[in-house]
């Protein structure tokens, strides 16, 4: 029996020396305070649990996952891993800009380079990912009523 070839788990953390420098730089970046759910997604990105992802999905990967359960390159991926934010935060950003990602206590956990910014069609996402746009479904309820209206995509660099 042959096993499928798996790419190595991406290393998304910087060295301790680089982390100190990056923390100082991140202090002057626009920052987003992550929800508990977003912290979990970030941890899974940084520890390789979401390998081969190197960050939050960009729009091309998001669209492909919603439609086909695959990333744009054809890799099987069942659910979008997105960073949902407010209009107010997203409107102040440009593509290529770095942002700091903070936990509830304000600790900078990572930085992200914004490569994509879009307003998703949440009804399409609900049907494509959960099979229905039914507000009684807990994940659809979260998507429609709690998740932010704008998605940001881009690679993350872990600090701690």
Write out pLDDT tens, residues 7-52: 666 678 888 889 899 999 999 999 999 999 999 999 999 999 999 9
Count other Cβ atoms within 10 Å, centred on residue 68: 13
Write out pLDDT tens, residues 41-63: 999 999 999 999 999 999 999 99
Residue with token string 């695959």:
70
Contact 62, 82 (CB under 8 A): yes
List the structure tokens of 128: 């494509």
Residue with token string 């934010």:
85
Domains of the chain: 32-158 (3.10.400.10)
Beta-bridged to residue 108, according to DSSP, are 102
Contact 121, 115 (CB under 8 A): no
């Amino acid at each position: 029996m042959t096993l499928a070839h798996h790419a190595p788990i991406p290393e998304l953390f910087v060295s301790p020396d680089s982390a100190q420098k990056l923390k100082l730089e991140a202090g002057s970046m626009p920052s987003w305070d992550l929800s508990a759910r977003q912290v979990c997604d970030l941890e899974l990105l940084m520890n390789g649990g979401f390998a081969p992802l190197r960050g939050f999905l960009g729009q091309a990967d998001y669209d492909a996952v919603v439609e086909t359960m695959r990333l744009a390159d054809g890799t099987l991926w069942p659910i979008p891993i997105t960073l949902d934010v407010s209009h107010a935060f997203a409107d102040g950003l440009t593509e290529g800009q770095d942002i700091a990602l903070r936990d509830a206590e304000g600790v900078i956990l990572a930085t992200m380079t914004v490569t994509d910014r879009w307003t998703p069609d949440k009804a399409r996402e609900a049907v494509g990912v959960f099979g229905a746009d039914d507000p009684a479904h807990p994940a659809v309820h979260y998507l429609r009523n709690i998740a932010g209206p704008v998605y940001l995509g881009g690679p993350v660099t872990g600090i701690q």
